[in-house]
Amino acid sequence: MDYGRAFAKALQALRDEGRYRVFADIQRDRGRFPAARHHAVGGMRPITVWCSNDYLGMGQHPVVLAAMHEALDAAGAGSGGTRNISGTTHYHIDLEAELADLHGKEAALLFTSAYVANDTTLATLQKLLPGSIIFSDEKNHASMIAGIRNGGGPKVIWRNNDLADLEAKLSAVDPGRAKVIAFESVYSMDGRMAPIGAICDLAEKHGALTYLDEVHAVGLYGPHGGGLAERDRVMHRVDIINGTLAKGFGIMGGYIAAKADICDAIRSYAPGFIFTTSLAPAIAAGAVASIRHLKASDAERERHQERARLLKARLAAAGLPVMDNPSHIVPVLVGDPVLTKRITDALLDRFAIYVQPINYPTVPRGIERLRLTPTPQHSDADIDRLVAALSELWAELGLPLEGRRAEAAE
């Protein structure tokens, strides 16, 4: 076997398709986000970040930083072990209590990321519920797909947000069988939102457990930042809520929140919980501060939504193909991986604007796009610069513009 050739061939296949990933080497400037610096050939240059999932800028909030500094000074850098072997600190206990309260659940369980939380929880659920079938929304994130595959049990894929399809598929299986409906609240690549209450109705009717990924909604929606289920007043109806401490809360880590027995069973059986070092105490302390702040303050959420509305309206007014959705995510359709990369390269090189191209397999082929993420910290001038740069590139590349829409949302 020519190992070198196998790897080179795999890489060449990505290059040929125009979807070889290049990571931008950037450094965020605390206190100045979305301003950052790009390590480019010839030195550091200032840039504006337009694709961060630190949606509210909590990763630089003074309350969060103070809590992290304090924990670092008090407890040191790492946790020292797995949760079972010396890695359960009071910071972890506090954070789990905070998360259980945020979601109105009896308990919560921490993981090192929401990816790990999805993967190990969904796989373990299938082991805990012998013979169970997972009903998975077709647009579910890679971490849920990995967990469902790792569980090894039967699965049924239903069309994104399609209640009739879900109902038909639930009706087709033995009513006595255990079922889990796994879905997301905000689908991160197109910004669509799930009809959570209606899915819970179907779950109740068919005796299914609900598993909801609120990764792109926690901190951002609901009066306390509990997510879309909180906003829609259906949080109590969802059996297991998955969330991240990155994105809206600005740090890192993941969790589930559910009834005490569910969390205890996952704690006791899930390899992705058991066999890995727990989060650093400073991360847990920062997350507690971030969650507490966003439970009490709506200011960040309101400004975030206002910025998203303004950006969408400005893009639409310029005729740029912004994909309509009710959320904070602003996708702009390009429809070709090579062109998408050319646009994002030009944005960075010529306009000092950082946007990462979104290509297959993150989205299906043919609907490659830019994914813009406005934050409360993006100014009107930042928005104007972005729209002007995109308009110039669209004209230069001869890309079609849509009928200019009135800036109705402003």
> Out of 38, 83, 105, 141, which residue is the one contacting ligand PLP (CB under 6 A)?
141
Whether the Cβ atoms of residue 135 and residue 156 lie closer than 8 Å to each other: yes
How many C-beta atoms lie closer than 10 Å to residue 56's C-beta? Answer: 26
DSSP state of 237: G
Q: Is 114 in the site for ligand PLP (CB under 6 A)?
A: yes
Phi then psi for residue 84, to 5 deg, are -75, -35
Q: Is 161 in the site for ligand PLP (CB under 6 A)?
A: no
Q: Is 254 in the site for ligand PLP (CB under 6 A)?
A: yes
Q: How far is the CB of 359 from ligand PLP (least distance, A)?
A: 15
Active site residue 247: yes
DSSP state of 348: H
Q: How far is the CB of 44 from ligand PLP (least distance, A)?
A: 27
Burial 215-245 (b: 16+ CB within 10 A, else e): bbbbbbbbebbbbbbbbbebbebbbbbbbbb
> Which of the ranges 72-80, 113-121, 256-264, 315-323 carries the binding residues for ligand PLP, by CB under 6 A?
113-121
Q: Is 330 in the site for ligand PLP (CB under 6 A)?
A: no
Q: How far is the CB of 190 from ligand PLP (least distance, A)?
A: 12
Q: Give CA–CA dist 330/327, Å, rounded.
A: 8
DSSP state of 175: T
User: Which is nearest to 102 in space by CA: 253, 214, 186, 188?
Assistant: 214
Which contacts qualify for 97-101: CB closer than 8 Å, 24 or more apart? Answer: 98/287, 98/288, 98/291, 98/292, 99/243, 99/255, 99/257, 99/291, 100/257
Q: Is 327 in the site for ligand PLP (CB under 6 A)?
A: no
Q: How far is the CB of 406 from ligand PLP (least distance, A)?
A: 32
For ligand PLP, the closer of residues 263 and 283 by Cβ is 283
Q: Is 244 in the site for ligand PLP (CB under 6 A)?
A: yes
Active-site pick, 169, 247, 312, 341 = 247
> Which of the ranges 110-118, 263-271, 366-374, 401-409 carries the binding residues for ligand PLP, by CB under 6 A?
110-118
Q: Give CA–CA dist 353/347, Å, rounded.
A: 5
Alpha helices in 270-379 (DSSP H): 271-274, 281-296, 299-317, 337-351
Q: How far is the CB of 299 from ligand PLP (least distance, A)?
A: 24
Q: Is 143 in the site for ligand PLP (CB under 6 A)?
A: yes
Q: How far is the CB of 213 from ligand PLP (least distance, A)?
A: 5
Whether the Cβ atoms of residue 212 and residue 240 lie closer than 8 Å to each other: yes
Number of residues that bind ligand PLP (CB under 6 A): 14
> Which of the ranges 79-87, 107-115, 192-200, 201-209 carries the binding residues for ligand PLP, by CB under 6 A?
107-115
Which residues contact ligand PLP (rule: CB under 6 A)? 113-115, 118, 141, 143, 184, 188, 213, 215-216, 244, 246, 254
Catalytic residues, by residue number, are 247
